Amino acid sequence: MMKTCLFLLLLAGSGAAFAQPAAPLSARLANVELTFALGADGRPTYALTYRQKPVVRPSRLGIRLTDGAGFDGPMTLTGSETTDVDDTWQPVWGEVKSIRNRYRQLTVHLRQAAAPGRRLDVVFRVFADGLGFRYEFPKQPGLQFFTVAEELTEFALPGDHQAFWIPGDYDSNEYPYTRSKLSEVDNAALVRASVAIAVREAPDPQAVQTPLMLKSADGLYVSLHEAAQVDYPALQLHVDRASARLSARLVPDAVGTKAYLRAPSRTPWRTVLVSDRAADILASKLILNLNEPSKIADTGWIKPMKFVGVWWEMQIGKSTWSYAASADTLNGAGQLVASGRHGATTANAKRHIDFAARHGIGGVLVEGWNVGWEDWFGNWKENVFDFVTPYPDFDVAEVQQYAKSKGVQMIMHHETSGAATNYEQRLDTAYRFMNRYGYPAVKTGYVGRIIPRGEHHDGQWMSNHYVRVAETAARHRVLVDMHEPVRPTGLSRTYPNWLASEAARGNEFNAFSEGNPPAHETILPFTRLLGGPMDYTPGIFGLRGFLAGNPARRVHTTLAKQLALYVTLYSPLQMAADLLENYEQHLDAFQFIQDVPVDWDDTRILEAEPGEYVTIARRQKGAASWFVGAITNENRRTATVDLGFLPQGRRYVATLYADAPDADWNTNPEAYRISRQTVRAGRKLRVALASGGGAALSLVPAE
Ligand code: NOJ
Ligand code: CA
């Protein structure tokens, strides 16, 4: 590590408003160059270029505090340092075996030009594929406990880019993406219409969530997000439609404050990914690199897995989470009367365990196993679930013994219905219960308005809650998959037991809403997935006719595309989400789900364009086999799979699961063809993808 200190320009006069602006400072790596400057008004700004093209025009930096003496006025520069770092690290699981972390860091030390002269540092890290920067509040007299009124960070974009956005909602990321010019961003109608989303609060029609994917007219791909969002609310962006200037909007707490901090402390990293190749955005490791290394020393117990579950049958109304028809359906002894429609029975769990054992699927999730589901939702009620009491028709011990005898692991389900307080009080007991019955992993959920009442899913309090859950789970050696949390920012590096989150619009919306348009899965890798793995729950084979009384309801993909998603949507935890009977009818296609790994040594982004298509190849962890997924939006197209990634001279058996020539997500989604051939490096396979279609390919060494 090389370290240079450039103590620059101490601006004259301590109490003076500001003298002359300091000369700009810059830091560059490869094609990416950052410039920091104090503007003519003494306020700090930064700008970013890529191959000398503007990515972010001079944009404001600063933080407003509630005490009125924040970092929103003129500042003086009291010093700066640059540092170069180039190292590599190995993730516990992931898309690649080892990750290079190479950046040039510029730290600027600032002081308020006027009294009380508080100090603030801004730390920039310039990578070959973008920028991360954060504010640091040094320990100092006069700044101990403080509250943030708003962050003033801006991203002034040089043009009216095309954007892939979802509304800046304080409570949900479960929206479909809109593709529009920045000048057209208006979320009001979409928020109003999205009645399938349980809690919606998006007061600013021009606010969007991050990761925000942008494409400029001259072909630059830019993504704005954050990394290591800890002890701070989520960053949303307000779009000034006339100027393409985006400004930070932090999700407020119950009383309208943004964050409570104590110096020394720091904000999350604000991130800008940039490239002239869309594939580079998907390959970027910048966000993971900005997160802290694992806090879990012994990670040997952390094992990625696939699972089936008692789940989709509830989503499509074939069975229920609840045991009784309502909380008032009681017998003379005051006990719930079974409706006969309960999904989580011992027998149904065993049926799933049998299937998992037969097909080498590691886990079985059973939702609706615990009491509370009769009135779990919509009442803003605190003590809905205790997470340890099963319904009378679900025998936890018997299920566990059966699973164990078959070599299958049970996955726990903890729906909190938004009552985070209740969950926190019961966490230790709930995880001890899991340990006792051998459940290695839990799927949590936050459907409903949050308790503490008035807090939001994406505010500082809840962000700390998710981290507390991950930390407590780690102490109990429990793996976590969170549904409806804040969207991830790479924290799975720090808490590798936090395998996945939902935090976006999953496959489930195809069951209970108008669904996800065919482009949806081609946008997710460029947006939500940049922060970390998603539990999208792919693998639906019964793509239509699943909802009684609503024949129009369908999944907006072909069957082959559902297979491809196991590769294109990376997660160390992947569900085979459909009903077992649908798999039994297509066991030849299910073979791909059986074979596809959830942990990888290498990943190659072969072709990608947001909203259009994604083709990705990955090499199985510790093995020579490769798997490829190719997907398209509503347009038919031909995917080109350049097998240049295969080792020279080695023959591979390629099994292709492709759309049949007459496949179409709308009219003929189940039509697929499976073919086999022997291939070598250097071949280019051209694979036809149907409208809303995809293809999956496994490549296993022939010898
Ligand atoms: C929403 C989750 O996303 C879904 O997977 C789960 O089944 C329900 N909540 C009930 O917890
Ligand atoms: Ca959900």
Q: What is the pLDDT of residues 552-593, one digit of tens each?
A: 999 999 999 999 999 999 999 999 999 999 999 999 999 999
Tens digits of residue pLDDT in 615-634: 999 999 999 999 999 999 99
pLDDT band at 21 (very low <50, low <70, confident <90, very high): low
Contacts of 469 (CB under 8 A, 6+ apart): 423, 424, 427, 444, 480, 482
Tens digits of residue pLDDT in 443-468: 999 999 999 999 999 999 999 999 99
313 is catalytic: no
Percent of the chain with pLDDT over 70: 97
Please report, as a single letter, which amino acid is at residue 416. T
pLDDT band at 1 (very low <50, low <70, confident <90, very high): very low
End-to-end Cα spacing for the chain: 44
Q: Which ligand has an atom closest to residue 173 CA?
A: 2
CA distance 482 to 286: 23
pLDDT(104) > 60: yes
Q: What is the helix (H) or strand (E) element at residue 348, kind and residue range?
A: helix 346-359
Q: How far is CA 325 from CA 203, 243, 270, 369, in A?
A: 36, 54, 48, 15
Q: Is the CB of 481 under 6 A from ligand 1?
A: no
Contacts of 584 (CB under 8 A, 6+ apart): none
pLDDT(164) > 50: yes
pLDDT(471) > 50: yes
Residue ranges with strand state E in 90-220: 99-112, 119-127, 130-137, 145-151, 154-156, 162-165, 178-181, 207-209, 212-215
pLDDT(18) > 70: no
- Asked if residue 116 has a cis previous peptide bond (ω within 30° of 0), the answer is yes
Tens digits of residue pLDDT in 301-330: 999 999 999 999 999 999 999 999 999 999
The predicted pLDDT at position 8 comes to 35
What average pLDDT does range 662-666 have in this prediction? Answer: 98
* Residue bearing the CA closest to ligand 1, atom 11: 415
pLDDT band at 14 (very low <50, low <70, confident <90, very high): very low
pTM: 0.97
The full DSSP string for 37-64 is EE-TTS-EEEEEEETTEEEEEEEE--EE
pLDDT(211) > 60: yes
What average pLDDT does range 90-115 have in this prediction? Answer: 98
Nearest residue to 124 via CA among 143, 107, 145, 138: 107
pLDDT(505) > 90: yes
More confident position, 375 or 2: 375
CA of 406 to the centre of ligand 1 (A): 27
* Residue bearing the CA closest to ligand 1, atom 6: 445
Q: Is the CB of 168 under 6 A from ligand 1?
A: no
List the structure tokens of 609: 């364009």
pLDDT(15) > 70: no
From 199, 376, 447, 574, mutation site for ligand 1 pocket: most ligand atoms within 8 A of C-beta: 447
CA of 50 to the centre of ligand 1 (A): 42
CA of 320 to the centre of ligand 1 (A): 12
Q: Which ligand has an atom closest to residue 344 CA?
A: 1
The predicted pLDDT at position 23 comes to 86
pLDDT band at 12 (very low <50, low <70, confident <90, very high): very low
* Residue bearing the CA closest to ligand 1, atom 7: 311
The residue annotated as part of the active site, out of 415, 455, 484, 508, is: 508
CA of 414 to the centre of ligand 1 (A): 10
Q: Is the CB of 502 under 6 A from ligand 1?
A: yes
From 320, 481, 508, mutation site for ligand 1 pocket: most ligand atoms within 8 A of C-beta: 508
Question: What is the rounded average pLDDT for all residues in the chain?
Answer: 96
pLDDT(518) > 60: yes
Pair 614, 689: CB distance under 8 Å: no
Nearest residue to 87 via CA among 127, 30, 133: 127
Pair 214, 161: CB distance under 8 Å: yes
Pair 647, 677: CB distance under 8 Å: no
CA of 215 to the centre of ligand 1 (A): 33
pLDDT(11) > 90: no
Nearest residue to 544 via CA among 569, 520, 510, 504: 510
List the structure tokens of 419: 């009552």
pLDDT band at 703 (very low <50, low <70, confident <90, very high): confident
What average pLDDT does range 49-71 have in this prediction? Answer: 98
What average pLDDT does range 209-238 have in this prediction? Answer: 98
